[in-house]
Amino acid sequence: MRRLLIVISGLLAIVVVGVAIFSFVTVRKSFPDTNGQVQISSLAGDVEVKRDGLGIPQIYADTPEDLFLAQGYVHAQDRFYEMDFRRHVTSGRLAELVGDAALDTDKYVRTLGWRRVAEKEVALLDDTTLSLLKAYARGVNSYIDNRSSSELSLEYAVLELTGPDYTPEPWTVVDSLAWIKAMAWDLRSNMTDEIDRVLATEKLTVAQVEELYPDYPKGHRTIVGDEGTVRDGAFTAQAPAPTQEGLARSAVTSLKKARSSAEALPALLGIGDGIGSNSWVVDGDHTTTGEPILANDPHLAPSMPGIWYQVGLHCRTVDEACPYDVAGFSFSGLPGVVVGHNAKIAWGVTTMYADVADLYLERVTGDTYEYDGKQVPLKTRRETFKIAGEESQTITVRSTRHGPILSDLDEDAEDVGEAAQKNATRGSYEVALRWTALTPEPTIKAVFALGRAQDWDDFRAAAKLFTVPSQNLVYADVDGNIGYQSPGTIPVRRQGDGRWPVPGWDPAFEWKGSIPFDELPSVLNPDEGFIVTANNKVIGDQYPKLLGADTAAGYRSERIRELIESRIGKGGKGLDVQDMSSIQNDTYSANAARLVPALLKVELGSRYHRQGQATLEKWDLKQDADSPGAAYFNSVWRHLLELTFHDELPEAVWPEGGERWFNVVSGLLDKPGSHWWDDVSTPEKESRDQILSTAMQDARDELTMIQSRNPSQWRWGTMHKLELVNPTLGDSGVGLVDKLFNRGPYRVGGGGGIVDATSWDATEGYEVTSVPSMRMIVDLADLDRSRWIQLTGASGHAFHDHYVDQQERWRKGETVPWVFGRRAVEDATDDTLTLTSRGSA
């Protein structure tokens, strides 16, 4: 028996070692080579890929085609599965990869027709842009050719355990262009707000709904100011004479229920009111260097790997033939640098919240719909979906002159039509989407143009090509200039303000073109010496064009301005790179500054509950991860929103708790008898102080249950956690698989509506739903003093050294050196890979 046990133990040991070796080999099988030499056909000359200690590549070539071919190769080395996943999403073919769980996503994307639009955009490209996109695709394909799926990424090896063998298709130009449609979708502005307004009318009047969308707060400044306007077809900073101008809103009161079918889509960039960004730029008169400094941190959904990929793209000799010397943040799958700097200029982006999408209620009868008193044929097409392991399915997509009909797929959007049907005399009602991104306009040209731009005029010319998504663009250059430009295709409405769905049968609600680029707000070298954008209102009401009504309420932008002014005011030394980083990591809560004084005035009956309230007395209003006060305040905030609004709002539009709700509650604090404080489910009438008292009691009870009875042991980061989840296999439900690809959870500070914008959804819990996906600070006095960081790491390969090697620094609010000049790059280089032409071997 003893010998038998020894034999069994030996066999088990062999099995364990065998599994360990197999796992080790399988995991490392897809790790790319970053040293040595690789032969690639179609290169004109040698290309060097120099990587620093974080695996961030700086690429050197002699021609633009070689440069972007190498970028495609490098993206594929580090992130091909991420690229393949994205193109399956953007083409409506994700079910082919992961099965029927993705079928709803595919149906919705095909209905929108992202890839169909991208295919049309190819014909609109100039020869130079098309050649660079083709070069990028050749680079991707040079890497994936002759490699098995498991040699490309561990995700494929895991998928092969449960499904058929999968061989990725070659990369194409359309694959890159379609990704821009996904960007535009996630940043499309107020479509969700438009539907939520209608949904809220299930229980509320239109007037009550409008109370939940208050005006931009008085005293909160806009990006450009309150003097600019349009004169003679161009934007001017001069103040206009007082005028009365407005657009009548068509209230579609017959619509009782609707909800965004966008929830079928994965959050490639993010969803909810935490999606946005901070960016600002300060001129040399207010910096320690005497030259501008620019900062940017886009707020997007967390993912594993992070959404951004850092890269440098350098022509060895920068001239007209090869004009690129640029570094910054790219998207894998897309050539060029989306945000960053070149040798002359720097730029940052924030979501503008321009209103570029409208919902139209359509009267449909059979295969026709009504327009201007006539019946017009619906456009139809068939879409067939392949599903891994199952039989394919086919649907019919219907469209009107305004766009695809969403209610054919989405039950909530269908409810829009059903509610309106009560007043119908014929036919049925459907909901169609009109969206600027469904008109072919190749924004990719702007990405290349930004990389080449040398001055303000070049920058504005590039911005003019930035059609979708509409983004605030901030600017700085080595000559000391700073600026701001609004870009994008922003519709001009004949009637309505884009805040409510409109009748599609009435021509009065059509768009009549878009705002000309020269009329969009812009500023160069403002008198105050800095520009701040944080998704706040672009310009004052004197501006005669409608950009969009649902911007952020300006709490972040006001805090950034306050911190900048404190450093450049009387006796201030001016700002340096570290100051800019400190501002990016600021966790001060303007919401708490408004609410805490009211909370401290409320008398609580028991000593037990007063102990919770006492954490606010000495709290500095900063939401650091170790703060007891922040833990208690955010619990109070969540319970306050529930107690105040859940009784009167449909569940689908319960408050998420971001900046809009700061504004709503701030106004209600001055109205202690408002109907919102009353709980309509009880016979008595509750007041403001009763709700505040109950919220504090509930928060004390909650924190006692989930953390400690002792308030001094409460920590905001214990409940406010960040988990990095792989977009396909990270939610498999199989613990071992999830652990292979996911990382975290991590304790973090910050919060929604705060400069350090780690947002959370009050309807779900305290877990992080969006983050500063990267942080960058560009020093125009010395570009090699610039700093950057991203959420995870350069590699998309689980267990690779660079999978999450930037995460801890990111979590601490740190950045890493951003080398740019050739000498600085050489000094930082750990690995060098040389790509050579096969013909030169």
Strands 759-760 and 276-282: unpaired
- How far is residue 437's CA from residue 120's CA, in Å, rounded to a whole number? 12
**Residues near 269 by Cβ (< 8 Å), separated by ≥ 6?**
182, 183, 186, 187, 275, 300, 301, 307
CB-count exposure of residue 682 (10 Å: 0-12, 13-18, 19+): exposed
- Residue 756 labelled as part of a binding site: no
- How far is residue 107's CA from residue 85's CA, in Å, rounded to a whole number? 16
Strands 831-837 and 47-51: antiparallel
Q: For residue 655, is the peptide bond before it cis, meaning its omega torsion is within 30 degrees of 0?
A: no
Residue 822 φ/ψ, nearest 5 degrees:
-60, -45
3-state secondary structure 646-663: CCCCCHHHCCCCCHHHHH
Distance between alpha carbon 428 and the CA centroid of its chain, in Å? 36
Crossing angle of helices 173-186/444-452, nearest 10°?
A: 90
3-state secondary structure 415-473: HHHHHHHHHCCCCEEEEEEEEHHHCCCCCHHHHHHHHHCCCHHHHHHHHHCCCCCCEEE
268 residue type, one letter: L
Take residue 804 and report the two structure tokens written for it.
Answer: 């999450």
Buried b (16+ CB within 10 A) or exposed e, 579-591: bbbebbbbbbbbb
Cα–Cα separations (whole angstroms), residue 520 to 56, 354, 514, 541, 747: 36, 11, 10, 14, 42
Cα–Cα separations (whole angstroms), residue 277 to 216, 286, 296, 772, 774: 18, 23, 7, 7, 10
Take residue 371 and report the two structure tokens written for it.
Answer: 């327009």
Residue 432 φ/ψ, nearest 5 degrees:
-110, 150
- How far is residue 20's CA from residue 53's CA, in Å, rounded to a whole number? 28
According to DSSP, the residues that pair with 313 across neighbouring strands are 59, 326
Distance between alpha carbon 246 and the CA centroid of its chain, in Å? 31
3-state secondary structure 294-334: EEEEEEECCCCCCCCEEEEEEECCCCCCCCCEEEEEECCCC
Take residue 531 and report the two structure tokens written for it.
Answer: 């520009």
| CA angle (448, 773, 637) in 5-degree steps | 140
Of residues 384, 457, 399, the one with CA closest to residue 103? 384
- How far is residue 778's CA from residue 281's CA, in Å, rounded to a whole number? 9
Cα–Cα separations (whole angstroms), residue 833 to 65, 427, 581: 18, 65, 33
| CA angle (100, 103, 108) in 5-degree steps | 175
Q: Would you please indicate which residues are annotated as catalytic (active-site) residues?
A: 277
- Residue 830 labelled as part of a binding site: no
41 residue type, one letter: S
Element holding 769 (H helix, E strand): strand 768-772
| CA angle (276, 177, 275) in 5-degree steps | 10
- How far is residue 172's CA from residue 133's CA, in Å, rounded to a whole number? 8
Distance spanning both ends of the chain, measured CA to CA: 64
Number of neighbours of residue 473 by Cβ within 10 angstroms: 27
Give the CB-side neighbour count of residue 495, counting CA atoms within 13 A. Answer: 14
- Residue 651 labelled as part of a binding site: no
Annotated binding site: 194, 355, 358
Annotated binding site for Ca(2+): 194, 355, 358
